[in-house]
Every structure is written in structure tokens, then in C-alpha cells.
Amino acid sequence: MRRFLIAGFIIVLLLVTLIVGISVGFMVSGDGFGVGGERVAVLRIEDIILDSQIYIESISSIKKDKSIKAVVLRIDSPGGAVGPSQEIYSEVKLLREKLPVVASIGTVGASGGYYIACAAEKIVANPGAITGSIGVIAQFVNYEQLLSWAKLNVEVIKSGEFKDVGSPLRQMTESERKYFQELIDNVHSQFKLAVSEGRGIGSKQMDQIADGRIFTGEQAKNLKLVDELGSVSDAIRLAGTMSGIGKEPEVVYYPKSKSRFLDLLLSGAKTHALSGFPVKERFGLFYLVDIIR
């Protein structure tokens, strides 16, 4: 009987600990439980962008929350795959039709991260932030010499000249290289158009700065790539002013997380997975700055 009582006590204790942990996680993350007054939502866009779903879901939730009067995109990302970056950009543009949107660039908001920022009405960056990198990249690994050394032959049967373009089993032909360059140039033009429209920069100046170079926040401001220098707090105050709430608005954070404690536990594995994963060796085109490689 005593054993059952002890076991029951331990189970209750674990449940209480779990509930308290989740509650603390909400408080630490700033998500909260209650419904306050008019608020500014901070949408955190972080790490390498390989999927847009969590951000699109967050934007959908923000639209449904009538208490949210403005949005700050807190960007700490070197960019990522072209498709997801463009999807987030498009959703932010639609969101901007309903609410004021301010982008805040923290440590790095470059390439695809900067692409997304251009959908905002205003961009605020730290003076030493890394931004820009307006360009497109695709990288491929070639194992042909390794296969030759191992005396391995590979037979490929394909339906057309470009079906196995980018194959790691052989050298790329000149026609294939030209084909890929045309793809990259087209996607690069899309990037430049987004920046030109979002920042009001003419095509001549765009051609001068859209060569993949990175800029500090201060340099970017001089080039009209950002509007103001400042922190995320400055961006929140700006969003509050633009929405009419005031300079000290209540803030709610997205994506929602059940527990920041769990996020911290998982962050180590997540960082390891990203740093050890050959992102640009995946097939595809990337808006991705190369400084972290």
C-alpha cells in the first residue's frame, strides 16, 4: 500500500512540475495566457530558411488576432532556399495590407533574410548587423575522380540532355553550366525586383549593389537598403507609433512555443544539424550568404 502511495505522489509531483515548467516557459517566451489590449506581434525568423510553413501559420494566426495592431519581423537569418523565402515574402506583403510591418535585423539578415525584410514598410538594423548579399547561389559536388580512383563505373539512362544536370557523378558540360546560369540569372532578377520595389531603388543602382556583397547595417542605411539604425526595441517602438498604440506597446511573440525550456534543450541538436548539414549541396537555388560556411 505504501508503495502505491509513493508512486502516486511521484506521478502527481511530475505532473505539477510539468505544468509549472510549461507556465514558466510561456512567461519567459512572452507568449502569456491572457488577452491584453492592443499589441505588437514580433515574428521571429531565425536560422537557415528551408521551410516556410511555421512562418505562414504564424502570419495566419496574427491576422486572426484582432488585438494585434502591428508586426515586427525579427530577422536573424543568413537566408535559405529560394522557394520558402519567396513564400514568406509574399505572405508578409499581404499582411502589410492589413497592418503596419517593420523589419528588425539583428545579427544577420542577409540574402533570403533580407529578401523577406523588403516586404516590410520599414527596415531597422543594428549598425554592425550583416545584411545585403543580394544574389543567388547553387553548389554541386563532383565525385567523378573518386569513382575513377575506386574503379567504379556508373551507367545513367535518361530521357533528355538535362535530366541529370548537376549530377555528382560527372563533370558538368558547358551547355549545362549555361543552363544553370540562366536559371540563376532569372531568380536573381526576381530578387533585384523585390528589393527595387520595396526600397524604391532604381535599376542602375541595383545593378551596382546586387552582386552578392554583404553590408553592415550602417553601410546599408547609406545605400537606402535600411531606413533606420537601432535595436529590436527601437523597431517595436516604431511599430507601436505607426499603429497608433504608442511607443511602449504590449508585445506578443511568434512562432508560439509551448516551452522556451524545451526550445533551449533542442537548440543544441538543431544547431549541430544545421552546421553539419551540407545545405547548399542539396539540389536547388539558394538566397544564402556564404559567410557562415
**Which residues are identified as catalytic?**
111, 163
- Containing 96, the helix (H) or strand (E) segment is helix 82-96
Strand ranges, E, within the chain: 39-46, 68-77, 79-81, 101-110, 122-125, 130-132, 214-216, 228-229, 250-254, 286-288
Contact yes or no for 112/288 (Cβ under 8 A): yes
Q: Kindly state the helix (H) or strand (E) to which residue 126 belongs, with its residue range.
A: none
DSSP-assigned beta bridge partners for residue 175:
none
Instruction: Determine the angle formed by the axes of helices 82-96 and 174-199, rounding to 10 degrees.
Output: 20
Could you give the C-alpha distances from 260 to 26, 30, 125, 185, 266, in angstroms and in order? 7, 10, 25, 41, 10
